[in-house]
Amino acid sequence: MTVAAVAALHDLPELVVGDLLFKVAPPRERTTIEIVVERDASLVLKAPPAVTIERATDFVKAKRQWVYRKLIEKDALSGPPVLKRFVAGEGFSHLGRSYRLAITPDGTGVRLDRGRFHLPSDQIAHGAEAMQRWYTEVGTKWLRKRIRPWAARLGEESVTVEVRDLGFRWGSARPTDGPQHINIHWATLQLPPTLIDYVLVHELAHLRELNHTPKFWSIVDRLMPAYETHRTALAAAGKHVWLGSIM
């Protein structure tokens, strides 16, 4: 008698299908498979004990478009993390262009100079933090200037941008009675300028409408008529953005 080797889904901690990563929830007595998109945009797969990897993969593939829609609704970055190593030649993006890393014998922090990122050798152990600091500092200056025409279109004289680590979100915004301000993830600075503009416009629109209602999208449309193309491009580009994970 032979028993076919059928791999059980619950032998895996995670299931990766294409560019989506699902945590596998502990098996529970249930009859259906379910995908849960968590608040932080992480994905969880809940399935009956006997489900095979093959069956779960087919299920996820069939639901893929739904998952992407949910992730877009959450303004989320998604997918298995992009990992970086702090060795000479590693690539890092800035404003949509990729630059190689060079390790330098001295210096005080990361520099982008003559087409390369330079990292002092004594900071290799904290390379991720040093890079994030660079994106944050350079990005803050760049974004504060970049947002002006968009804020003006919205009818705001000034909107302050703060660059932070926002986990799995590109940006966040909450209207106040006082001066307006939005937060942008430091990782956003890796994107091409047109996609960063879309993130800015999206967060600016949230200053008028908190939720993704038709009113919200009509504000986005008024500020940036080509936004749908950028929104789709952003969902695709997000999978290649480095969020600080190291190898």
Asked if residue 246 lies in contact with residue 83, where contact means CB atoms within 8 angstroms, the answer is yes
Shortest distance, position 207 Cβ to Zn ion, whole Å:
11
Shortest distance, position 154 Cβ to Zn ion, whole Å:
15
Q: Which stretch binds Zn ion (CB under 5 A): 70-78, 87-95, 117-125, 146-154?
A: 70-78
**Strand pairing class (20-24; 43-46):** parallel
Shortest distance, position 14 Cβ to Zn ion, whole Å:
27
Q: What is the residue whose two structure tokens read 């399935």?
A: 47
Please report whether residue 197 would count as binding Zn ion according to CB under 5 A: no
Task: Specify the long-range contacts of residues 207-214, CB closer than 8 Å, at least 24 apart.
Answer: 207/154, 207/156, 207/159, 207/173, 207/175, 207/180, 207/182, 208/154, 208/175, 210/174, 210/175, 212/73
Shortest distance, position 206 Cβ to Zn ion, whole Å:
6
Q: Which stretch binds Zn ion (CB under 5 A): 23-31, 73-81, 159-167, 238-246?
A: 73-81
> Where in 129-158 is the site for Zn ion (CB under 5 A)?
none
Shortest distance, position 50 Cβ to Zn ion, whole Å:
39
Which residue, 144 or 208, has its beta carbon nearer to Zn ion? 208
Asked if residue 96 lies in contact with residue 193, where contact means CB atoms within 8 angstroms, the answer is yes
Which residue, 141 or 174, has its beta carbon nearer to Zn ion? 174
Among 35, 51, 75, 170, indicate the residue that binds Zn ion (CB under 5 A).
75
Specify which residues 37 forms β-bridges with.
43
**Cα gap 16→60, rounded to integer Å:** 10
Q: Which stretch binds Zn ion (CB under 5 A): 33-41, 71-79, 96-104, 123-131?
A: 71-79
Q: How many CB atoms lie within 10 A of CB 82?
A: 16
Residues that bind Zn ion (CB under 5 A): 75
